[in-house]
Amino acid sequence: MKPHLIALDLDGTLLNDQKVISEKTLATLKQAESEGHQIMIATGRPYRSSEVYYRQLGLKTPIVNFNGAFVHHPTDRTWKTVHETIDLTVAKEVIDAMQDFNLKNIVAEVMDDVYLHYHDEKLLDIFSTGSPKIQEGDIRQYLQVNPTSLLIQGAEGMADPIRKHLEEVHAEVIEHRRWGAPWEIVEVIRHGLNKAVGISKVSEWIGIPQERIIAFGDEDNDLEMLDYAGIGVAMGNGIDQLKSIANEVTLTNNEDGIAIMLQERLNLKSS
């Protein structure tokens, strides 16, 4: 069988609800790699919180972080890194506009520098993975460079109104996606970026055509990726919108959905 590029979202897809890769899925991916297929990660996470899974899989491919805003090769410094940021003026305009909404917090990330608008122990616990430099206080004062991403945490019921405003006022300069439940978080990155853009760069570099890309996802930040891939696979736990555009729907992230689908599609022996 000709080699395929297997693109994997992390949370809710490759990772089960305990945030680990199951033994069956890990063994299946290793088997696919041994038979000539290429495996990569495409996630909204920064690299510092996805590196552990990259290392666990023993990958030798570039990785898509921040939903396509940062595409790089962790083990090959000759690979041309892509880092596309939000213009600082635009970021501050968005932050200013958000003051009119019922917010819990705003977080800006500049690679591994994290800026929290308000102190929040739960968010600190999430964003401290990988020991980033963390600054707390008014982001408009402390943020002095173009951010990689913005995260807007609204109060309950605020995600949709926030996204409506972003679409009406800032659609030409930013992209926005919603985190999965239970978070009321809207993630903002530069306009024109998504996981599909990053995957296309990797597939071109590897030499695997679009029709032999298999992509797995579960949330709305996976829509472009599944639509772009020759075989877009929605997880059983995925949102309905994603399932409606997917080529296939597999079992959930807790039922080894990736492993089951790959064993069938790539004629792999059961692991």
Specify whether 56 is located in the same domain as 72: yes
**Which pLDDT does position 182 carry in this prediction?**
65
Place 269 in a pLDDT band, splitting at 50, 70 and 90.
Answer: confident
The helix (run of H) or strand (run of E) holding residue 112 is none
Q: Report the pLDDT averaged over residues 217-237.
A: 97
Active site (annotated) includes residue 138? no
CATH number (domain holding residue 112): 3.30.1240.10
Cα–Cα distance for residue pair 208/190, rounded to 1 Å: 27
Specify whether 165 is located in the same domain as 100: yes
CB under 8 Å to 218, separation ≥6 — which residues? 9, 11, 12, 13, 180, 234, 235, 237, 238, 239, 242, 253
Last residue of one domain, picked from the residues 127, 159, 190: 190
Specify whether 115 is located in the same domain as 149: yes
- Token code pair at residue 259: 């492993």
Domain annotation covers residue 205:
yes
Domain annotation covers residue 271:
no
Question: Regarding beta strands 248-249 and 231-234, do their DSSP bridges make them parallel or antiparallel, or are they unpaired?
Answer: parallel
Specify whether 37 is located in the same domain as 120: no
Residue 179 DSSP code: P
Specify whether 253 is located in the same domain as 129: no
pLDDT digits (tens, 9 = 90+) for 97-146: 999 999 999 999 999 899 999 998 988 888 888 888 999 999 999 999 99
Under 8 Å between Cβ of 177 and 66: no
Q: Among 9, 11, 222, 256, which one carries the catalytic annotation?
A: 9
Under 8 Å between Cβ of 21 and 58: no
Specify whether 70 is located in the same domain as 92: no
- Percentage of the chain with pLDDT > 90? 86
- Token code pair at residue 35: 């038979």
Domain annotation covers residue 160:
yes
Specify whether 19 is located in the same domain as 67: yes
Domain annotation covers residue 139:
yes
Last residue of one domain, picked from the residues 190, 215, 244: 190
pLDDT digits (tens, 9 = 90+) for 83-103: 999 999 999 999 999 999 999
**Which pLDDT does position 209 carry in this prediction?**
97
Secondary structure class of 106 (helix, strand, coil): strand
Specify whether 159 is located in the same domain as 226: no
pLDDT digits (tens, 9 = 90+) for 158-198: 989 999 999 999 989 999 988 766 678 899 999 999 999 99
**Which pLDDT does position 270 carry in this prediction?**
60
Residue 11 DSSP code: B
Helix/strand/coil percent split, the chain, to 5: 35, 25, 40
Domain annotation covers residue 270:
no
118-120-124-126 Cα dihedral, nearest 10 degrees? -110
Under 8 Å between Cβ of 231 and 247: yes
Range of the domain at 243: 5-82+193-265
Cα–Cα distance for residue pair 77/72, rounded to 1 Å: 9
CATH number (domain holding residue 20): 3.40.50.1000
Specify whether 104 is located in the same domain as 181: yes
Domain count, the chain: 2
Is pLDDT at 203 greater than 70 in this prediction? yes
Tokens 């990155």 belong to residue: 189
Cα–Cα distance for residue pair 195/235, rounded to 1 Å: 17
Specify whether 55 is located in the same domain as 93: no
**Which pLDDT does position 123 carry in this prediction?**
85
